[in-house]
Structure 1
Amino acid sequence: MALLPLLFALCVAGCSTMVVQKGGLTNPPAEKGSVYLFAGLTPDGDDMAQSGMYSLTQYIRAAGVRADVYNPAEWKKAADNFLAQPRHSKTQVAVAGYSMGGNAATQFAERLRAAGVPVQTLLVFEAYRPTPVPCNVRRAIDMYGSDGLFALSSRLQPERSFTGRLETVDWSKLHKAGRHDHLGVSKEPAALEYVKHALINESRVRPQAPSRGEAACLARP
């Protein structure tokens, strides 16, 4: 095991995780869709307001779209909260996750697949060991940038029945300015702006066309 992944594994055991963030700007209703974000780990002494994913919720709420951020361990709770909404089957939903939140984002999407709900866009950046992209995802984006000793991310892979669009974005080549290391990219303003525009279109969750295999996917037990 490389040195940095080993240190990261130790951090998993020794760092605290964040709880769902309910503060900040007033969260709009879900008429224009819902965005679910999953942060990475936060060391003891940090709080949610220092997270780039928290900043992203504020940008999205300011645009008039509902957005919530959870710690990566809370993916099942986040999915159940969405499915408990009275009109969840009519609500367009998008999801993004950073670092360990990338794994949470893919598991969140799979839980929605089991409930027969499509995901418009799933985006992970610097994702740490994400599970395969389920077939209810219409557009998947794998955003990364760090390499060498400081590489912690794993490439996003589709499950066998996935028929949506899978895109890869090498942030270090797309945007040469700013920080591209695993920790820095999560707070890089240009990176957060890119994620925002991938998930929402002005004032609503960005709609995506259904994939050719979506109907069969959502009918699967």
Structure 2
Amino acid sequence: DTVYEVTLPTNVRDLISNFRVVVNLGLSELSTPLTCIGLGGYLAKLVFYIVAPLAACLLIVIVAAIYLRSQGRCTRAEMLENALPSVLFVIFLAYPAVTNIAFEAFVSYDFQSEGEWLKVDVSISTSSPEYAQVLAVAWFAIVLYPLGLSALASLLLFSARQAIQNRSPTPLSRAISFLHRDFEPEYYWWEVVEMLRRFLLVGLFVIIEPGTVRQLTLACMFCIVYLAIQIQTSP
């Protein structure tokens, strides 16, 4: 296991491996079954990581709707309070993994006369039509998850800002408490900042001169600046 192509110490790798299934929603453990049914390779993996959380969210909404309808209280407010928290939890848990995998589409090996080949899947040449398809799906994942979820979180938090700041809970503010409950009311929007931090560290910085000292330096400098801001603001 590596971070920015720096091999981690054995004890750190062992510790991380204990949490890998949870962090990746267990999706990484499905790579072998996917290969067995002909869905091996980076592109299939990326598509699966995009679709699986969305399918889980759809299932949550359907189950919540069926349950509430059976109870005779399938209203908008009830749906918000029953389905939205779980939906947000699933997609925000998937956010770092999908972002990281999507940005792997932009890192390649340069074999000089042999051309460039995708690092995560060396069967794909960067000059091939398949790579163009990979890029399209990767950009879709980036727009949908890191950018789309940031916009969604901003919209939800902005819509509930008065209820959060005034400590007067509404169905919406209760439903999205996952996004703001750990922060002071005046910093109700800090989760969006956290999302930006994750986007940069697990996404954007991954493709900046991979494996170089400059990459590590930029990431470390960003972490130091972010930590200083967080200590100063105490959100």
Task: Output the TM-score relative to the length of structure 2.
Answer: 0.25
More helix by share: 2
* Structure with higher strand content: 1
- TM-score, with length taken from structure 1: 0.26
